[in-house]
Amino acid sequence: MSAGGRFRGAAADLAMGARMAVGGGRDGWTRAVLTALGVGIGVALLLLAASVPGALDARQARGDARDDLRMGQELAPAANTLLVSMVETEFRGRPVRGRLVRPEGPDAPVPPGLTRLPAPGEAVVSPALRDLLDSPDGALFAPRLGGARVTGTIADDGLAGPGEFAFFAGDDRLSTERGATRLDRFGGGLPGEGFGPVLLLLVAVIFVVLLLPIAVFLGAAVRFGGERRDRRLAALRLVGADAVMIRRIAAGEAATGALLGVAVGGALFALGRQLVPLVTLFDLSVYASDVRPPLPLVAIVAVAVPALAVLVSMVALRAVVVEPLGVTRRGVPARRRLWWRLLLPVVGLALLYPLTGIRDDGSAATRYQVAAGAVLLLVGTVTLLPWATELLVRRLRGGPVGWQLAVRRMQLDSATSARLVNGIAVAVAGTIGLQMLFAGVAREFTTATGQDTSRAQVQVQLPAGPDTAGAVQRLVTAAGVTGANSTLTTVANAGDLVQLRIGDCTALAEFARLDRCADGDVFLVETPGTAAAVAPRATLTVDGTARWRVPADARRVPSRPTPAGWEQREVLITPAALGGATLGELRGEVFLRLDPDAPDAVEHVRNAAATIDPTLAVTTLTEVRESDRFADVRRGLYIGVVVTLLLIAASMLVGTLEQLRERRRLLAMLVAVGTRRGTLAWSVLWQTAVPVLVGLTLAVAFGLGLGAVLLRLVQAPVTVAWPVVGLSVGFGALTVLVVTGLSLPLLMRLTRPDGLRTE
């Protein structure tokens, strides 16, 4: 045959496959729609994953454009300068970015997102903050604005994301003496914290864990309706079609379904990106315009998905080509071989195990090797799941009718049920391994603060002023405050600088170990290994003018760590010991204990602090503090895992519905001969539960193995995050129940008498 004839023959075969993909009347279109929907979910996920780096870069660019931090830069007041003070606060765990501004001339810079600077008493807020102020919770936050009237909304280019709480307020009291920063432009910013080798390893494995389940699900989605498709191709083989023709027809059918799925995925992605601004996860939100995958990656997805569909179809054609009669008669398939299924995870371990000292090697080649090893190891769950499911169901006997129906179905075709849970098994295995790695390296990125949250939960440091005592009173009487420790402080000169702390005996006991105390006592605090800063009878000078002499009976006492975790040499003074002396303007330090049953107690403290000074910081004490980069990586993992598992569960539901539709005549016949619908519902449940049980067992084993190997790479002790394992298994069980429950309406409809009709 000439080349032209061979080309026309191949084109005809491909066209026949395309017609078979969408032909066959209502049944064919239903199958095509389910396949397109399943593939479309996977494509939408891939496009979403491809958009993440660009979305984060867009957030970072907007943050850099509005940056107002200046280090080592001193400007003189001019017509083009602006005074800015930061108001960094929170509201119910969500950060709030506030700025007080005062222009020093007509050409003062205007921050991105604003058309003009707010005048004193005016505020411009983000849309999310405006919604909060208009809600019933707005009254709880409003004092943070200092009584300013909201006159406008910050535009998109002035916000990191649509869900950000932010505001600009005018204040004519700002000055550099009160801590304001003078600037002549916005933008620039300080260099951020970099990624080390361990964080780069985490990012590489995260991409594997999040993207591999999508690829696995795509491979399962293109096989929707595979049983009926195989019988059609086997029939063509029996009437004379050769192996090459069968493969071409199968390729045309698979590629057509995949191309429809690519189109559906593009539509789902376009629809989903419009909903993205409505969602805020872990304080992260982006605009719809930020969610834009690069064109090269879009082209790769558009080509790779049909190619994957064709590859999966070719792999599944062995029985059709070799044993078409057995496929047509639904014969029992040959038992699966084990050796090659173990080959992939063994190769993955061989790639990962020799690597050590990854914390000293952040090269791209090492990351690629780790990613390849993780992929092969996780794919082991996919290759072993059908074999393990077949091994289990082959030995099952007896039980209720619903159980027997499910077991017999899985004995005839366990691969179809296993394909539905492959994505969940891979996702769970990867999540377990990653959480083990996170737990193993967390100590490197977290710092023990030494703070004692059992003694106090909030710390407020007040600037020196004439009414410091009144400011302290406002804080300790805020709603939800159950106890307080307040002292007044100043700095004195005794050759060296020394801090003086004034308070009653109860308050001073938080800063030193006092065996006894009475009003009029003075204590000289010594830290471990260091003597007191001053001696009895020493004369101290405060503010260059006020003088005070340390009493001769002042006692030396050892220091005690404060609730904030620090201890220092200082002089502790009870009020009567001053003898009427004045030490100038005093600063205040307040530690507050909050009512655990009043969740908004800290919000009332922040409001009280805002009435004293809008820029006053309210510090929430915590026992550990985490690196910002590590927290960002962890947050990205949580978001990705949540989105991936939810969409895989949705795709699993689509696959279950497709299986029910394929067996609708059989289900209708069973009901017609007296089988109860409840029995069929239990059958569907067991057909989903058994592969999920096997898949989760393999996922736990492979996840623990992956985690142990990754921990060895970073030279960290092997620790198992059992709560994560339990949550993963619980999610699998919940998925079974949800999928079964949502499939029941279709099951009831398919078992009606009209389901017996055929052509």
pLDDT digits (tens, 9 = 90+) for 117-150: 999 999 999 999 999 999 999 999 999 998 899 9
What is the mean pLDDT of the segment spanning 574-598? 88
What are φ and ψ of residue 544, in 5° steps? 75, -10
Give the pair of three-digit tokens for residue 300: 């790769």
Higher-pLDDT residue of 298, 42 = 298
Checking if the pLDDT of 366 tops 80, the result is: no
Split at pLDDT 50, 70, 90, the class of 712 is confident
For residue 25, the model assigns a pLDDT of 63
Checking if the pLDDT of 699 tops 70, the result is: yes
User: What is d(CA 595, CA 312) in angstroms, rounded to the nearest whole number?
Assistant: 60
For residue 359, the model assigns a pLDDT of 54
Q: What's the pTM?
A: 0.78
Q: What are the pLDDT digits (tens) for 95-104?
A: 999 999 999 9
Nearest to 585 by CA among 552, 620, 614, 544: 544
User: What is d(CA 358, CA 170) in angstroms, rounded to the nearest whole number?
Assistant: 51
Q: E strands along 356-429, which residues?
A: none
User: What is d(CA 180, CA 484) in angstroms, rounded to the nearest whole number?
Assistant: 30
> Of 95-99, 214-218, 283-287, 328-332, which gets the smallest average pLDDT?
328-332
Give the pair of three-digit tokens for residue 579: 């003898």
Split at pLDDT 50, 70, 90, the class of 57 is confident
User: What is d(CA 541, CA 560) in angstroms, rounded to the nearest whole number?
Assistant: 26
Give the type of residue at 308: L
Measured in residues, the chain has a length of 759
Q: How many CB atoms lie within 10 A of CB 14?
A: 18
State the greatest distance between any 2 C-alpha atoms of the chain, in Å, as a whole number: 116
Nearest to 355 by CA among 377, 375, 333, 370: 370
Residues with Cβ within 8 Å of 417's Cβ and at least 6 positions away in sequence, in order, are 389, 409, 410, 659, 687, 688, 690, 691
For residue 666, the model assigns a pLDDT of 78
> Which DSSP letter does residue 120 get?
B
Instruction: Return mean pLDDT, the chain.
Output: 82
Instruction: Judge whether 365 and 201 are in contact, CB under 8 Å.
Output: no
Split at pLDDT 50, 70, 90, the class of 383 is confident
What are φ and ψ of residue 270, in 5° steps? -60, -40
Give the pair of three-digit tokens for residue 268: 């789902």
Q: What are the pLDDT digits (tens) for 144-184?
A: 998 899 999 999 999 999 999 999 999 988 888 888 889 88
Split at pLDDT 50, 70, 90, the class of 71 is low
What is the mean pLDDT of the segment spanning 190-200? 59
Split at pLDDT 50, 70, 90, the class of 694 is confident
For residue 131, count CB atoms less than 10 angstroms from its CB and return exposed for 0-12, middle for 13-18, buried for 19 or more: middle
Instruction: Judge whether 387 and 336 are in contact, CB under 8 Å.
Output: yes
For 47, half-sphere exposure in the C-beta direction (CA atoms, 13 angstrom radius) is: 28
Nearest to 664 by CA among 754, 759, 741: 754
User: What is d(CA 269, CA 230) in angstroms, rounded to the nearest whole number?
Assistant: 31
User: What is d(CA 250, CA 308) in angstroms, rounded to the nearest whole number?
Assistant: 13
Checking if the pLDDT of 560 tops 80, the result is: yes
For residue 226, the model assigns a pLDDT of 65
For residue 70, the model assigns a pLDDT of 67
Give the pair of three-digit tokens for residue 508: 């001073």
For residue 231, the model assigns a pLDDT of 76
> Which DSSP letter does residue 412 get?
H
Checking if the pLDDT of 193 tops 60, the result is: no
For residue 319, the model assigns a pLDDT of 65
Q: How far is CA 327 from CA 318, 405, 419, 443, 624, in A?
A: 10, 21, 19, 56, 62
